[in-house]
Amino acid sequence: MERRTWSPKGFEAHLGKKWYVVDAEGKTLGRIATIIASTLRGKDKPTFAPHMDMGDFVVVVNAAKVVLTGKKETQKVYYSHSNYPGGLRQRTVQQVRQSHPERILESAVRGMLPRNSMGEKQLKKLKIYAGPTHPHLSQAPEPLELGR
């Protein structure tokens, strides 16, 4: 009897995609970001393949109420550069939370995904909303278990 390692085909990547909803209120940023990144990649499925996008969709609500431990609220800094001389831009978590609170969670999850075109596709399956409502009710998202 010949045994071979199963590998998913291209059309199988689109089968069985689920939608999950996560309430980020009162949850620690890194703890929730690892679970979301794992779900987006599909690592929690037995059909996981590192070369294919087998993950599910994740909707995050109350992203503005995510918690950072220690002094990160004032000391953590996000950097960006415009590639022009003197174009370094620094923003603390407080400043980002006031203008675009969903970007805090998005950047944490982005850092946990692959840095290639597949990682960008996986990030597009993440929908983040600062408030308690979202427009994806027709997909009937299930609550995602955070205590894995």
Tens of pLDDT, residue by residue over 70-82, are: 999 999 999 999 9
Dist. CA 63–CA 104, nearest whole Å? 8
Q: How many CB atoms lie within 10 A of CB 54?
A: 23
**Is CATH 3.90.1180.10 correct for 18-68+101-134?**
yes
Q: How far apart are the first and last CA of the chain?
A: 37
Q: Does the pLDDT value for residue 148 go beyond 70?
A: no
Spans of all domains in the chain: 18-68+101-134
Give the position of tokens 């059309």: 11
Tens of pLDDT, residue by residue over 13-57, are: 778 899 999 999 999 999 999 999 999 999 999 889 899 999 999
Residue 39, both tokens: 């779900």
**55, burial (CB in 10 Å: exposed 0-12, middle 13-18, buried 19+):** buried
Say if strands 126-128 and 142-143 run parallel, antiparallel, or are unpaired: unpaired
* Percentage of residues in the chain having pLDDT higher than 90: 81
Q: How many CB atoms lie within 10 A of CB 14?
A: 9
pTM given for the model: 0.92
Tell me which H or E stretch contains 34: helix 29-41
For residue 99, the cross-strand partners are none
